[in-house]
């Protein structure tokens, strides 16, 4: 069942690239943007996350914390974050618990027939933990609607 706007966001606890546990429940009081992406070091994922990096001020101005989430290991994500100079946390969903909770896991990823890869998806969660925006991209080559995400964040402040 897909995550819908108006419902409580499923909680999760994942490791970031600094080996710290990050829980969604600990983010209450801030708006949160979750960006699930298939794989580090791929072209579209790099473009997506660098777009967020280059526009981080927009998110900061709306009291939003951005988290990129993929099934890559925290070590792979750490190297990716460093190489791309990303200025927001990347979380490793290596065990695929968050992707399953948000129903954004491919049974078989279209490229290379890999199983257990996250779909590209975006969720905006308000200060009370309620989903205000949910988008699952139709294909891995599609990017989230950043304008709609920003409009949602602007409406929360």
Whole domain around residue 146: which residue ranges? Answer: 29-156
Task: Tell whether 6 is covered by a domain.
Answer: no
Structural domain total, the chain: 1
Task: Tell whether 14 is covered by a domain.
Answer: no
Residue 6 gets the label, from left (phi > 0), alpha (psi -120 to 50) or beta, of: left
Task: Tell whether 106 is covered by a domain.
Answer: yes
How far is it, in rounded angstroms, from Cα 5 to Cα 125?
A: 9
Task: Tell whether 7 is covered by a domain.
Answer: no
Q: Is 112 exposed, middle or buried (0-12, 13-18, 19+ CB in 10 A)?
A: exposed
pTM summary value: 0.95
Q: Note the pLDDT tens digit of each residue in 130-153.
A: 999 999 999 889 999 999 999 999
- What is the structure's pLDDT at 94? 97
Per-residue confidence at 106, pLDDT binned at 50, 70, 90? confident
Task: Tell whether 81 is covered by a domain.
Answer: yes
Task: Tell whether 75 is covered by a domain.
Answer: yes
Task: Tell whether 18 is covered by a domain.
Answer: no
List, by residue number, the catalytic residues.
Answer: 45
Task: Tell whether 51 is covered by a domain.
Answer: yes
Q: At what angle do helices 43-54 and 74-84 cross, to 10 degrees?
A: 60
CATH number for the domain including 89?
3.40.30.10
Q: Note the pLDDT tens digit of each residue in 22-75.
A: 999 999 999 999 999 999 999 999 999 999 999 999 999 999 999 999 999 999
How far is it, in rounded angstroms, from Cα 1 to Cα 104?
A: 10
């Amino acid at each position: 069942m897909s995550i819908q706007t108006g419902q409580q966001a499923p909680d999760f606890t994942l490791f970031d690239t600094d080996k710290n546990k990050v829980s969604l429940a600990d983010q209450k009081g801030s708006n949160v943007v979750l960006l699930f992406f298939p794989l580090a070091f791929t072209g579209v994922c790099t473009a997506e996350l660098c777009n967020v990096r280059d526009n981080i001020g927009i998110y900061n101005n709306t009291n939003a914390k951005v988290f990129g989430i993929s099934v890559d290991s925290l070590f792979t994500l750490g190297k990716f974050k460093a190489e791309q100079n990303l200025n927001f946390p990347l979380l490793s969903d290596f065990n695929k618990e968050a992707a399953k909770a948000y129903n954004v896991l491919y049974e078989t990823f279209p490229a290379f027939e890999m199983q257990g890869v996250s779909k590209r998806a975006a969720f905006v969660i308000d200060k009370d933990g309620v989903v205000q925006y949910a988008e699952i991209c139709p294909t891995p080559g599609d990017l989230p609607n950043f304008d709609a995400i920003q409009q949602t964040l602007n409406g929360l402040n």
